[in-house]
Structure 1
Amino acid sequence: SLLSHLKRQKWANELSAGLMKEYDDWSLFCVEVEATEAGLKHVDEIVDAIYQYLHLVQQDQIAPWVFDETQSIALMNFRFRSKETPINYATSLATRMQLYPVQHIVAGSSLLYTYNPVQVESILSQLTPRRMRLTVVAKDFEGKATDVEPWYGTLYAESALPPSLIQRWESPARTEALFCPHPNAFIPHNFDLVTTPTPGKVPVLLRDDAAARLWVKTDTTFLKPKLNICLALHSPLIYQSPTSVVLTDLLVRAIKDQLTEYTYDAELAGMRYSLSFTATALELYGGGYSDKLPVLVQLIVANMVHFNMTDDETFHRLKDKTKRSYDNFERDDPYKHALYFSSCLLEDTKWMVAEKAAAIAHVTRADLMEHAAALFRELFVEAYYHGNVDAATATTLLDDALATIGARPVFPSQRVKTRAVQLASPVEYVYAIPELNVESVNSGLYTCFQLGRESMHLRATNEVFAQLLREPCFNQLRTLEQLGYIVFSSSHRAHGIEYFRMIVQSDVASPAYKNIQAVVDALLDKPKAASEECSRFWSEISAETYLFTRRQDLAAVVRTLTIRDILTFFDQFILGPNRAKCSVHLLGHQHVVPALKSELGDVDAVLGPLASIALDLKENATPAIVHIKDIRRFKLGMPLFPERPSGPVQLAK
């Protein structure tokens, strides 16, 4: 492909192409390339490659089988697409009524009807250098761009393309490195639905041993020939140190980079995948048609386990991209920085972006290869198959994946979970620093109240309290006091601990649930697609809680709540003796960080006294204020909540 060719030259990381603007009388076809630093020095050569590929397509023409294949995929996706919400469907129909004749209003935007090579040739003939506008965006042009656009004050420079370049691109040389697409091997053909003699409403456990745990739910609701596969590969090596996190990050990026050539065809055929990592596991998700999705997932697993990177140039390209993502963290919105620092304060092990930015400077390709080999040497796999699949097929698919992985089991004692820092009460902890983006005039504020270990009653009360407070919070802080263009409040939970939180600086809509019945309705709202149902169950599996009826159980508890329960919750956790509050302030450059002093003394100078001091404060409802200056030293002196216990599991009979 064109992207693969540019990657081999070390000029690009990503490429996308398609219609960007489409109107009755004109359209814009855009090719966007995410260039590397080396690619910025070869812009003309990148454009060379684009026109070489266009010229190749024009010369070879688009074969009828390409249209037939695209038509088949379009029909398949239209036939088996998930239901839309009524408002979205009505809106899209109204839009299509302006564009299509009556007989094509429903499917006109989805289906292809007749192959017309004359129209195809007409479109291709207009993709010429003389119709092109070339835009290059990079920090390298600072000082060179002197014109100012009138709306946002953006600096730019504009010039005509040299005639010699236009002539060069009009007659590009043919290269053997580029060729037209091949038939797509991922197009499914079998759309039969599986049946199960004992359909269930929740996943069932088919396997639970030292190597793996397997959950399966055969879909009997949506009746689509689709499948969702979720694999969590647990390893203690993922999050051992800042260096191991950086290497895991690089590994995930490198695997996805190598898979691009294969997964593009799969995406065209209605498949999708994601590969990410948490502090405890690599998580692979695949979704799509059950006929071909197992082929894609097996291909990805094989590429993960047999990962190999043979050249330093590719490593340095990905390393540079990863480093830039760490460096660009400072340019995020202040409220995102506030959220980030709150997790650094409240999680026992959280490697900071600054640590990762320092660690990446020293890693090598050899380090990456060694890390990959070690990571896949010992694993525990938690798997969930949801959709058009039966128990026997799911068991076989997991066996195939485990055989490909070939890892030894991880000892249960090695599978540690993240633990939450336990705040004292009634104490208010404050962490205030200048906003990381020195050019930002905005400030961000995150405030959370730690409520304790999650229970059904506590969570239900917190949900109702959060829903009742959401509109007044937004109205008071955003509309009346105008303290920020982003205002948001919600319930929150992490690592088995319940929180109520407020964020200021967010332009978020204000949905208002005004009574308990509205909360119940939201909890009992049925999933609109199999993927949504899968996501709900996978959140329980990945957290190892396995309470698949949580929403129904929670709704039952919510129904029993009274106004007295909500007032007691408020008096106890928000204003009362159990108030454990943590605030993070990111102050824009127009605000000065005040010289703050803790009422409990310098918390960074004394390690470990806060838990005992809190016992004395229990008698006093007035919260003490602790100003945190160093996150690491703060956490060294704080107790931790116990690990979140795993939920009960029982093998299917």
Structure 2
Amino acid sequence: MADLLHSVYVADKGLIFKVSGYSQNLHLVVDLVTREMRAASGRVDRHMFEAVREVRARSYHNVLLKPHKLSQDVRMNVLIEPYISVRDKVSLIQNITLEELQDFTDRFLDKLYLQILMQGNIAWTDAIKISENVLKNIKWEGLPEAESPVIKVHQLPLGDRKLRVMSLNPASTNSIVTNYYQGEVATVNDTATLEVLMMLMEEPVFDVLRTKEQLGYSVFNLVRYTFGVNGFTITVNTQRDKFTVSHVDRRVESFLKKFSKDMNRLSDKGLAAVKQSLIQLKHTTDYELKEEANRNWREITSCEYKFQRLLIEAEAIDKVKMSDIRKWVADHFAVGNKSRFRKLSIQVVGHLPNSADNATQGESGVQDHSLQLLHAGQPSTNIQENQEEFITSIDDFKKSLPLVNTPRVELAQC
């Protein structure tokens, strides 16, 4: 068997074509696919186009039915500029024609900026030949720097903001609360501090919110590196008929209040143990070539080019002090000095079981994917909420937000 694998998929800033397998035949796959890129859309008949379009539309729809995917989509919709929501894609895709696809293919391939990684058992001379063949097959002009895609992040306002929406799946009682706490532009030292903090939080957040309070079957915290901006999230998957999202949000804040006190009591010995565990993870040996290749590819597509990132981060983690942990908590938690407390709570509300809105969806296939944004006290809750904290229009809210100035790394600086 040739044992060759290939994939083509859409990424944040363009199209990615990946090939793996025995090196002696890889160039044949690359040559074949790149030669067909120009011609393929012209050979697609209308029946095939409509079938593929329907499959893609269904996949968009299925993504939005999952509350955790909807939560992610809404969060990125607020934070990222530009951002094309899955909700926008599913509403537009049925209007796309075969002629528009063919026209877009030509325009897309006319101007490109190509980034290539070849890693493994391949000579540098062969790598250059493969790259030259790709250029020969596709025949594109260089993309001007002014047209290069740039993704920016909105800086949240100081304080607490909530975005509460109804789930787009009327048959699901699942509710999701994801509290996002935004930090600043990522630096090596700040990232190391945040990673240590998240490892310190990992066990107690599950123990308190999942095991003891039983708020939901899935509870976790994660470091969030959003296009150069640090942050973290705490996510709780609960049930609409068991807990309200407002109750879950308050319990998360209650946990963070207790956790901040625990950080003030944490000993140097306890910190050292966590740091050592994290450093060992950074030094874990890659079992397959693709692990290292994927890591290097992320550095290329992000244009950061820190190919020794794990070693750099391990050194920075070793230097993290208790004062760094306590300062990060004090600055970014609601219980501290709040000088850098920027919180966005994304709350997806599930539907009540056996209710009118829990009816089976119609067989027509026509779905309404627009968001139903809720206000304070909606759906009914006995907790007093501040309406000023609620986002009632994503577009209007984003207009008031500045963009974080993240440094752009030029290849010549690496």
1:515 aligns with 2:274: yes
Rate the CA distance shift 1:572–1:329 in 2: closer, same or farther, 3 A.
Answer: same
Contact 2:65 2:167 in 1 (8 A): no
Matches within 5 A, 1:107-256: none
Matches of residues 52-451 of structure 1 in structure 2 within 5 Å? 73=1, 269-307=2-40, 308-332=42-66, 334-425=67-158, 427-451=159-183
Partner residue, 2:352: 590
Q: Deviations over 1:53-75 (max 9, x none)?
A: xxxxxxxxxxxxxxxxxxxx4xx
**Deviation for aligned residue 1:357:** 2.1
Residue in structure 1 matched with residue 252 of structure 2 by the alignment = none
Q: Is the 8 A contact 1:433 1:587 kept in 2?
A: yes
TM-score w.r.t. structure 2 length?
0.81
In the other structure, the counterpart of 1:461 is 193
Q: Which runs of 5+ in 1 are unaligned?
A: 1-72, 74-268, 507-512, 598-622
1:557 to 300, 306, 316: 316
Shift of 1:354: 2.5
Paired with 1:573 and 1:585, the residues of 2 have a C-alpha distance of 20
Q: Using the alignment, how far apart are the partners of 1:482 and 1:298 within structure 2?
A: 55
Give, in whole Å, the separation in 2 of the partners of 1:350 and 1:319. Answer: 21
Contact 2:196–2:317 under 8 Å retained in 1: yes
Q: Which residue of structure 2 lines up, in the alignment, with residue 568 of structure 1? A: 327
Query: Offset of 1:270 from its aligned partner?
Result: 1.1
8 Å contact kept, 2:64–2:86: no
The normalised TM-score by structure 1 is 0.52
What displacement does 1:327 show?
2.3
One-letter identity of the residue aligned with 1:454: A
Partners of 2:348 and 2:82 in 1: CA distance: 22
Of the two structures, which has the highest relative contact order with CA contacts closer than 8 Å and spacing of 6 or more? 2
Aligned partners of 2:98 and 2:73: how far apart in 1? 29
The alignment status of 1:637 with 2:400, answered yes or no, reads yes
**Whole-Å Cα distance in 1 between the matches of residues 374 and 15 of structure 2?**
42
1:328 shift after superposition: 2.2
**CA distance, structure 1, for counterparts of residue 205 and residue 11 of structure 2:** 32
The residue type equivalent to 1:440 in the other structure is S
User: Match of 2:255?
Assistant: none
Amino acid corresponding to residue 314 of structure 1 in structure 2: M
**Relative to 1, partners in 2 of residues 1:643 and 1:414: Cα closer, same or farther, differing over 3 Å?**
farther
Question: Following TM superposition, by how much is the alpha carbon of 1:457 offset from its aligned partner in structure 2, in angstroms?
Answer: 0.7
**Tell me, what secondary structure is at the counterpart of 2:81?**
coil
Shift of the 521–579 alpha-carbon distance from structure 1 to 2, 3 Å rule, reads same
Partner Cα separation in structure 2 for residue 401 and residue 414 of structure 1: 22
CA distance in 2, matches of 1:639, 1:548: 31
CA distance in 1 between partners of 2:292 and 2:376 (Å):
48
Residue by residue, what CA displacement relative to the aligned partner does 1:21-45 show, whole Å, maximum 9, x if unpaired? xxxxxxxxxxxxxxxxxxxxxxxxx
Code of the residue aligned with 1:316 in structure 2: it is E
Name the aligned partner's letter for residue 636 of structure 1.
K
Give the SS at the match of 1:649.
helix
Measure the CA separation in 1 of the matches of 2:133 and 2:174. Answer: 52
Q: Conserved in 2, the CA contact under 8 Å of 1:376 and 1:405?
A: yes
> How far is the alpha carbon of 1:380 from its aligned partner?
1.0
Distance 1:650 1:400 in 2: 28
Q: Verify the 8 A CA contact 1:418 1:643 in the aligned structure 2.
A: no
Number of aligned residue pairs: 351
- In 1, Cα distance between equivalents of 2:202 and 2:317: 17
Greater CA deviation, 397-406 or 298-307?
Answer: 298-307
Deviations 1:557-598 (A, max 9, x none): 11011222111111111232211011100011139986429x
Measured after TM superposition, the shift of residue 305 of structure 1 is 2.5
User: Helix, strand or coil: the match of 1:383?
Assistant: coil
Letter in 1 for 2:61: D
Quote how far apart the aligned CAs of 1:278 are.
2.0
Instruction: Could you tell me which runs of 5 or more consecutive residues in structure 2 were left unpaired when the two chains were aligned.
Output: 239-270, 354-371, 378-385
> Offset of 1:442 from its aligned partner?
1.2
Rate the CA distance shift 1:570–1:323 in 2: closer, same or farther, 3 A: same
- Do 1:447 and 1:582's aligned partners in 2 also have CA atoms closer than 8 Å? yes
Q: Does 1:581 align with 2:373?
A: no
Deviations 1:251-293 (A, max 9, x none): xxxxxxxxxxxxxxxxxx2111111112321111111100011
Question: How far off is 1:644 after superposition?
Answer: 4.7
Q: Matched residues in 1 for 2:207 and 2:134: separation? A: 52
Distance change in 2, residues 1:413/1:326 (3 Å): same
Distance in 1 (CA, whole Å) between partners of 2:218 and 2:407 is: 32
What percentage of aligned pairs have identical amino acids? 24
Structure number with higher helix proportion: 2
For 1:500, the aligned partner's letter is: F
Q: Which amino acid aligns with 1:538?
A: W
Distance change (3 Å), C-alpha of 1:438 and 1:517: same
2:38–2:109 CA contact under 8 A, matched in 1: yes
Task: Tell me the CA shift for residue 472 of structure 1.
Answer: 0.4
Paired residue secondary structure (2:126):
helix
Match of 1:487 in 2: 219
Counterpart secondary structure, 2:100? helix
Q: Which amino acid aligns with 1:499?
A: G
User: 2:113 touches 2:143 (CA, 8 Å); kept in 1?
Assistant: yes
Give the 3-state SS of the residue equivalent to 1:528 in structure 2: coil
The alignment partner of 1:443 has SS state of strand
Q: Contact 2:64–2:87 at 8 Å: present in 1 too?
A: no
Q: CA deviation at 1:635?
A: 1.0
Residues 192 and 316, structure 2, Cα contact 8 Å, conserved in 1: yes
Aligned-pair distance for 1:337?
Answer: 1.6
In 2, Cα distance between the equivalents of 1:456 and 1:423?
Answer: 22
